[in-house]
Structure 1
Amino acid sequence: MMGPVLAACLLIILSTAWISQANGATCKKDGGVCTCNDQTKNVDCSNIKLTAIPSNIPTDTDRLVLNYNKLRELEPTAFHGLKELTYLDLDGNKLQTLPPGVFDHLVELDELHLNYNNLRSLPPGVFDHLTKLTILGLGGNQLQSLPDGVFDKLSQLQKLYLQENQLRRVPEGAFDFLSSLSDVTLDTNPWDCSCRDILYLSNWIREKKGTVSNIEAAECDGGTKAVLEITEEEAAEDCVYPNTTTAIPTTIITTPASSNDDDIPELPVPQENFQKFLGYQEPDHLPTQPQCLMSISGYLGLMMFFVLISAAILYVIHFLKKA
């Protein structure tokens, strides 16, 4: 009599383990939602309406694409197991803040794309461990200020995108350690050219004119004058700006959370500029149903689980009747 009971228990254990593996998987081949390439070590989780980063991303992943999803926040340890990552794309999500230390383990990272989110501030030192970074995209956000020294460790950085934010100034010496810089986008920011703080940026643009691309497009608020043309007489005021480096606006804190994702307002992103900037192409097929907690493979696994249990019970009953 122990034979069928033991067999039933074994079936239950095996099926439960299989379901757990399927539900915790990242790659489609294992029952997850992302496309993985074992040869190139690429994981593509783009445009599948993710509200959280999948668990169990392979630790040897080289490129991780998470753009065009609905990510609103990141866990501080979201990328801590991905020490071999060289490319991370988070463009086109709804991120409002970045937790301190979220990128600290990505010491091999070469490209970081955070364009067209809703970032209003950056934590101090958020990029300090990314010493191999060559491309950093922060365009199309709501950044109101930059922390002191936020780019100081990025001596290998070649391209920096800061266009379409709410920047009125940059800290004194903000770009001084970017010795490899060749391209910076500063346009479409409300640069305050009446304040003395703008003189650092104005002098830096004049100094780098001809060696760093796109910097001459920076204009004073209202588009009346280029930042590089500002003189000390024009920027005579000593302005004091509110500390928005780490503060979170109260409107974000007090806005009631909605359980219906359809109630979340879309970001005011100019789609034409967005698609042009990111080189976006409409995929052949878009998901038509909201993402569920369990993948299709997970549901199949659950069905198999119940089938196996039923078969085991029937087998035990049949054996007892014969006995």
Structure 2
Amino acid sequence: MMGPVLAACLLIILSTAWISQANEALCKKDGGVCSCNNNKNSVDCSGKMLTAIPSNIPPDTTQLRLHQNSLSKLSPTAFHNLKELTYLDLDGNKLQTLPAGVFNHLVELDRLDLNYNQLQSLPDGVFEKLTQLKELYLQYNDLKSLPEGVFDKLTKLTRLDLDYNQLKYLPSGVFDKLTLLEKLYLENNQLRSVPKGAFDSLSSLSLVTLDTNPWDCSCRDILYLRNWIREKQGNVSNIEAAECAVGNKAVLDITEKDAASDCVSPNTTTAIPTSTTTPASVIYDDIHEIKVPQENFQKFLGYQEPDHLPTQPQCLMSISGYLGLMMSLMLTSAAILYVFHFLKKA
């Protein structure tokens, strides 16, 4: 009679092991769509052609990768159960807008990646709850303007990417609260000038990109930018690359005589032609035909973050997990047959 008892114990042990292996393989509750690293509370759903965010992503997830999918919209409550998130990657989707309050529960988030989407505008207060955010990526979108005070709550921000958009002007005081900002990317927009005092609060700035904007060096408004560049030259990288739209003269070198005209503020004037830059949607669809800076191209392909692609140990862990699962199934089947054999004899 001890045989069936021992077999039953073995069956219980093996079943427990099988359930553990199955949970790992199925990424807890998400149905196996995404891959998981439970030790790091990381969920990777990238490159799955998703049109909606998988349900039942574990609530203790801290890193969620959703890049290179087909997300065209988000539910306002898409991330409300993921309050532990510190990193959210939505790079390379088809988002044209963001619902108000979509990030309101992500109070621990320190990195948000929205590069390579089709965002045309940002709702008021969309980032106001992200008080721990340090890096915000918005490059390669179709943003034409920014809401007043859109970054006011991001007082810990150290990096802000706004390059490769269609920004025609910057709201007054848009960067005033970003005293810890170190890197600001504004190249390849439609900026003709910046508001007086726009960069005065950026005491930690070490890099700003201003090139490939149609800077209007005939207007007095440009003199603030010229004076700021002269003051920061040598302390802030890449500011010398800003050039006037006409004459290829550096903004740094213009004179009061050059900028003698009174001009209408850029946010009230007729929009200037956008043919000088390529829309983000075209860049995204025809990336092979357009020269893109190497680091941006690598980011588009998902290589900027080393953990976007599985490492060799991760692959080995995945293979060993599946082998373990198969072994558990085989042993469980053997144990069941063993129990039935002794029961039949009894």
TM-score by length of 1: 0.69
How many Å apart are 1:228 and its aligned residue? 0.4
Q: Distance in 1 between matches of 2:28 and 2:95?
A: 20
CA deviation string 1:123-144 (max 9, x = no partner): 0000000000000000000000
How many Å apart are 1:224 and its aligned residue? 1.8
Q: Distance in 2 between matches of 1:36 and 1:239?
A: 56
The residue aligned with 1:47 is: 68
SS at structure 2 position matched to 1:30: coil
Pick closer, same or farther for the CA change 1:170–1:62 going to 2, 3 Å: same
The residue aligned with 1:24 is: none
Q: Distance in 2 between matches of 1:281 and 1:268?
A: 11
Q: Does 1:197 align with 2:218?
A: no
The residue aligned with 2:83 is: 59
How many Å apart are 1:31 and its aligned residue? 3.2
The residue aligned with 1:291 is: none
Pick closer, same or farther for the CA change 1:223–1:278 going to 2, 3 Å: farther
CA deviation string 1:76-106 (max 9, x = no partner): 1110010000000000000000001000000
Q: Does 1:279 align with 2:294?
A: no
How many Å apart are 1:282 and its aligned residue? 3.9
The match for 1:266 among 266, 269, 281 is 281
SS at structure 1 position matched to 2:281: coil
The match for 1:119 among 129, 143, 161 is 143
Contact (CA 8 Å) 2:168, 2:271: kept in 1 or not? no
The residue aligned with 2:201 is: 177
Contact (CA 8 Å) 2:186, 2:210: kept in 1 or not? yes
Pick closer, same or farther for the CA change 1:127–1:166 going to 2, 3 Å: same
Contact (CA 8 Å) 1:118, 1:141: kept in 2 or not? yes
The residue aligned with 1:296 is: none
Pick closer, same or farther for the CA change 1:50–1:211 going to 2, 3 Å: same
Contact (CA 8 Å) 1:36, 1:44: kept in 2 or not? no
User: 1:93-172 counterparts in 2 under 5 A?
Assistant: 93-172=117-196
The residue aligned with 1:224 is: 248
How many Å apart are 1:248 and its aligned residue? 11
Pick closer, same or farther for the CA change 1:164–1:226 going to 2, 3 Å: same
The residue aligned with 1:30 is: 30
Contact (CA 8 Å) 1:34, 1:45: kept in 2 or not? no
Report the residue type matching 1:108 in the other structure: Q
In terms of Rg, which structure is larger? 2
Q: Distance in 2 between matches of 1:192 and 1:85?
A: 38
CA deviation string 1:145-178 (max 9, x = no partner): 0000000000000000000000000000000000
Pick closer, same or farther for the CA change 1:163–1:32 going to 2, 3 Å: farther
Q: Which moved more, 1:113-122 or 1:236-245?
A: 236-245
The residue aligned with 1:215 is: 239
Query: Cα RMSD over matched residues?
Result: 2.7
SS at structure 1 position matched to 2:282: coil
Q: Distance in 2 between matches of 1:124 and 1:32?
A: 42
Contact (CA 8 Å) 1:28, 1:34: kept in 2 or not? no
Contact (CA 8 Å) 1:79, 1:102: kept in 2 or not? yes
Q: Distance in 1 between matches of 2:32 and 2:126?
A: 24
Q: Which moved more, 1:52-61 or 1:156-165?
A: 52-61
SS at structure 2 position matched to 1:181: coil
Q: Distance in 2 between matches of 1:167 and 1:28?
A: 48
Q: Distance in 1 between matches of 2:271 and 2:261?
A: 27
Contact (CA 8 Å) 2:213, 2:245: kept in 1 or not? yes
Q: Distance in 1 between matches of 2:143 and 2:153?
A: 20
Contact (CA 8 Å) 1:36, 1:42: kept in 2 or not? no
Q: Which has the higher contact order (CA 8 A, sep 6+)?
A: 1
SS at structure 2 position matched to 1:199: helix
Report the residue type matching 1:229 in the other structure: D
SS at structure 2 position matched to 1:277: helix
Listed as ranges, the gaps of 5+ residues in structure 1 are: 1-26, 250-263, 285-323
How many Å apart are 1:241 and its aligned residue? 2.9
Pick closer, same or farther for the CA change 1:34–1:111 going to 2, 3 Å: farther
Contact (CA 8 Å) 2:116, 2:300: kept in 1 or not? no
SS at structure 2 position matched to 1:160: strand
Q: Distance in 2 between matches of 1:208 and 1:129?
A: 26
The residue aligned with 1:7 is: none
Pick closer, same or farther for the CA change 1:122–1:34 going to 2, 3 Å: farther
SS at structure 1 position matched to 2:291: helix
